[in-house]
A and B are shown apart, each in its own frame.
Chain A
Amino acid sequence: MEVGQMQRQWVVYTKSLFTEGFLDGQFLQLQQLQDENNPDFVVEVVSLFFEDSERLLDDLTFALDQKGCVDFKKVDAHVHQLKGSSSSIGAQRVKNCCVAFRNFCEEQNTEACLRCLQQVKQEYCLAKNKLETLFRLEQQIMAAGGSIPMIELSF
Chain B
Amino acid sequence: MGMAAAESQQYHVLAVDDSIIDRKLIERLLKTSSYQVTTVDSGSKALEFLGLQENDETKPITPCVSPKIHQDMEVNLVITDYCMPGMTGYDLLKKIKESSSLRNIPVVIMSSENVPSRITRCLEEGADEFFLKPVRKSDLNRLEPHIKRTKLKDQKQETLQKVENIEQQQILQPESETIIEQQHQQSLQQGNNNKRKTIEQGLSPDRTRPRYNSGIATVV
Residues of chain A whose beta carbon lies under 8 Å from any beta carbon of chain B? 11, 14-15, 18-19, 24-26, 28-30, 32-33, 35, 38, 41, 44-45, 48-49, 52, 80-81, 83-85, 87-89, 149-155
The interface residues of chain B lying within 8 Å CB-to-CB of A149 are: 219-220
Per a CB cutoff under 8 Å, which of A28, A35, A80 touches B212?
A28
Binary per-residue interface labels of chain B (18-30) against chain A in the complex, 1 for a CB within 8 Å, 0 otherwise:
0111101100110
CB<8 Å pairs between A and B, sample of 12: A15-B216, A18-B212, A26-B134, A29-B136, A29-B137, A33-B29, A44-B24, A85-B19, A85-B21, A150-B220, A154-B215, A155-B214
The interface residues of chain B lying within 8 Å CB-to-CB of A87 are: 112, 133-134
- B4 contacts partner chain A, Cβ-Cβ < 8 Å: no
* B212 A153 Cβ-Cβ under 8 A: yes
Task: Give the interface SS of chain A, mostly helix, strand, loop or mixed.
Answer: helix
Shortest Cβ distance from B194 into chain A, in angstroms?
A: 26
A36 to B37 alpha-carbon distance, docked (Å): 19
Per a CB cutoff under 8 Å, which of B83, B133, B217 touches A152?
B217
A89 to B134 alpha-carbon distance, docked (Å): 9
Closest 6 CB pairs of A and B: A25-B212, A155-B210, A33-B28, A88-B134, A11-B219, A85-B21
Known: A25-B211, A33-B32. A88 touches B25 (CB 8 A): yes
Shortest Cβ distance from B50 into chain A, in angstroms?
A: 25
> For chain B residues 199-220, which have a beta carbon within 8 Å of chain A?
210-220
The interface residues of chain B lying within 8 Å CB-to-CB of A15 are: 216-217, 219
Compute the total of residue contacts between A and B using a CB distance below 8 Å.
Answer: 87
Known: A25-B211, A33-B29, A87-B133. A152 touches B218 (CB 8 A): yes
Known: A25-B210, A25-B212, A153-B210. A45 touches B21 (CB 8 A): yes
* B137 A153 Cβ-Cβ under 8 A: no
Q: How large is the interface on B (under 10, 10 to 19, 20 to 34, 35 or more residues)?
A: 20 to 34
Residues of chain B whose beta carbon lies under 8 Å from any beta carbon of chain A? 19-22, 24-25, 28-29, 32, 83, 112, 133-134, 136-137, 210-220
The interface residues of chain B lying within 8 Å CB-to-CB of A151 are: 217-220
Known: A33-B28, A33-B32, A80-B83. A48 touches B20 (CB 8 A): yes
Known: A88-B19, A153-B212, A155-B210. A83 touches B112 (CB 8 A): yes
A84 to B99 alpha-carbon distance, docked (Å): 31
A71 to B54 alpha-carbon distance, docked (Å): 32
* A52 B21 Cβ-Cβ under 8 A: yes
